[in-house]
Structure 1
């Protein structure tokens, strides 16, 4: 769901990867490979730089390898615009994108659709017709933005929803202190839009800009802020005793992840859909929270987490 300003030309996309591998981890055939052969196909899988994307990138690479494809990995690209440019320019062949991000930031629609099915269908139709980008099935997981707070602090302040949070921002800005990442701070579906939707303006003295990963610990400690921007599928929410405040005005768009690929790649290798759709069907909020937590809390490698999960589902062999 995240989007960074374009800071590099398409020609420089290949230099922004956090990880590039032409070999990667081998994967034995499992249920995904039954009747679905990609032998002879050479594919490049990409992804953004945050934990969930790193895991999804590895899941995709392993799944495709299990069906016989030769897969290059370009996981860890810096920002949504860079990753999208890598796809459309041909630097990568596919990556997981979020419906809300594409609808607002690539397709330039101003109002999201609250119904996840309608939002997915609209995104898939427009992106294919306008940009020749094919969307495979979306997961039920919704990695949307949220404002979170330590559960005990939420109870102490009597906050039940974001309307209550907005009232606190008016009455006691210091107690409503909020940590945001630089990207969220500039997005129309982030901090500016949230303040407009809920009718409040938090003074700059009560807003701290931190790296995304640091926000969770900051909220847990209540320093330098009581509240902060989070992603709803992040495993640290539960682990650190945080609560995502209910979005009673339904401001934040739906961000269902789905594998996107150039239509030309899909037409050359239509079997990719049968391999990847069962994976999408298995990715719920709780599953992604668990997988993300294995990396962010337990310190495991994204590749190992992806491999163990695929094997546990029988998607690939052990």
Structure 2
């Protein structure tokens, strides 16, 4: 389904011709839902997302079930998942124990989750920023040695609920230290959704000035203040070509107060396809998937595009 058959496509200069969407619904989305879904439903969710055209689907997490009970069945999910060649299925690992489990199950891509601020590092990882980097170092080293791709999330890159504004210099410093561990990709997280386009541009420029290639940077925006699409467009203008999004707008962050859902993948698709930017993702199939998932969760999707394209549909 083309999202713009009746409304036309109008490109803008200075934007990429193709964008890769890192679909985070199965992990970042479901981990923040109160409902704990059966593993069969999670497997079908991932498979539907791939069928819609996604080539990167963050699948689950090996964080201890005490902290994220919604994803306690990570091993069972990976064992039953019907994977497709050419599709990456990153799994979040918190430490070397998590990496051991991932390697035993044949995982080929992992993610680690760092913080730009001390407050969030202590609440989320029970460590300082320095201690968390020390913990990640052997994880990344072993994973890269085994040929795995390693994505690093840098949370609170634009603001923190306890420290408020986060100095650019601090974000750049932690980002640089994360990349030095051997990451293949760095995802900048607007964990509480406070970023605005000027701040996005300033941070990206500062990271590039530090020597981090723009093609190794992804963006991960939350829509708390309705800024996620504007921030995405600002990032694309600076050369970013990987954008994180969550089908149906699922998820937020269980450790950050005031964090609403991620940027909805369908809303992102409407914008990108209207700009003539290729994503490889079929909007119609994705909308069907998000309506189906909303039914599993017992609530309607918060995505404006899902609502617009499925009038009368309800959970």
Same fold (TM over 0.5): no
Kindly indicate which of the two structures has a greater share of residues assigned to strand.
Answer: 1
Higher relative contact order (CA 8 A, sep 6+): 1
Decide which structure has the larger Cα Rg and report it: 1
